[in-house]
Amino acid sequence: MFVTAIIAAGGRGQRFGAAQPKQLVDIGGEPMLARSVRAFATHPSIGEVIVALPAEIAADPPDYLRTPRVRVVAGGARRQDSVANAFRAASASSDVIVIHDAARPFASADLIARTIAAAAESGAAVAALAVRDTVKRVDDRRVVRETIARETIYLAQTPQAFRRDVLRDAVALTDDATDEAALAERAGHPVRIVDGEATNIKITTRDDLTMAHALTKPARTGRAGTGYDLHRLVDGRPLILGGVTVPSDRGALGHSDADVVCHAVTDAVLGALSLGDIGRHFPDTDPRWKDANSLDLLTRAAALAREQGYEIGNVDVTIVLERPKIKDHIDAMRTNLARALGVDVARVSVKGKTNEGVDAVGRGEAVAAHAIALTRAR
């Protein structure tokens, strides 16, 4: 089966209000027209693409239309005139002809394939979305005269596809119509509905363009990192956990203030972004970090994350310590960590566990902390 695609781009988009024709407006770094044409020119079911353009653009088309599979024709005064011109230029061997608005740059390959298949089977098919809202018919004063059963209402999109003989009958009509499916109906051909796509938006106004730019942005991605730290407990040192000095007869030994909570969270943040570990950024061989406040180190790690285009989503920490009990200090630790990370305290979790007398931690000779941090693209 040979399929021809027609891209209707003959209008000038006067409602859009741009200095140039709407179809040439940039979306996500490339013209709207280029996106629409590429969807069909690269589709495995399409044998040729014919683009109907305003005459002045057709005379000197953009470089992205100068490819073997794409041909350009001058459009007409109305949309249906442009489609008729393109239809006359289509290959005589075309079995199915699919028509698409250049102002719908997000049609998926699956939608194109489904519309073509439905037309090949039924003669004519149109992508359309079922109405979800209650539909009211009003008079010229905007007074409701009738509520229409929404189950029978669909909003037509493109692509629309037709067997060649059906489209020939449609374009032969001179009536005004907003799409080829309406002409096919008037010519007496049944038109089948194919489920459309909500993202297959038509760009008519500036608000539509704002939505289109949003669709081209990459999805916000999340990256997780884990952290772990352990320090021996010795006499004569303060026990600092999450920036809180916890009353204890012994504290953690380390080059900085040996805050295992901050160190574990710092490693988790750095790990999420593949930025190495705390030793790489704040080595214990550097005198600058001697007795450093580990909350400051965590603040620096959070700043590095922001420089990479990420923000902290949430953090979860487990402190493993035989004694003393830390439950009365958890809220203060969460507040300190949240401040250093630049997030709401609700995004920070701190828990305390013992090691049930097992190994050095269980014997009260060391303190450890495990952490996980989730970052997300800003």
The per-residue DSSP string of 176-236 comes to --SSHHHHHHHTT---EEEE--TT-----SHHHHHHHHHHHSPPP-EEEEEEEEEEEEEET
Helix crossing, 164-171 with 79-89: angle to 10°?
140
pLDDT at 222: 86
Query: Which residues, other chains included, contact 59 with Cβ-Cβ below 8 Å and sequence gap of 6+?
Result: 74
pLDDT, tens digit only, all 378 positions of the chain: 999 999 999 876 655 656 678 888 999 889 999 999 999 999 999 999 999 999 999 999 999 999 989 999 999 989 999 999 999 999 999 999 999 999 999 999 999 999 999 999 999 999 999 999 999 999 999 999 999 999 999 999 999 999 999 999 999 998 899 899 999 999 999 999 999 999 999 998 888 888 888 888 766 678 999 999 999 999 999 999 999 999 999 999 998 999 999 999 999 999 999 999 998 999 888 888 888 999 999 999 999 999 988 999 999 999 999 999 999 999 999 999 999 999 999 999 999 999 999 999 999 999 999 999 999 987
pLDDT at 342: 95
| 222-377 CATH choice from 3.40.710.10, 3.30.1330.50, 3.90.1210.10, 3.40.50.1100 | 3.30.1330.50
The whole-angstrom separation of Cα 306 and Cα 275 is 12
pTM of the prediction?
Answer: 0.63
Class for domain 3-216, per CATH? alpha beta
Domain boundaries, the chain: 3-216, 222-377
The whole-angstrom separation of Cα 89 and Cα 43 is 20
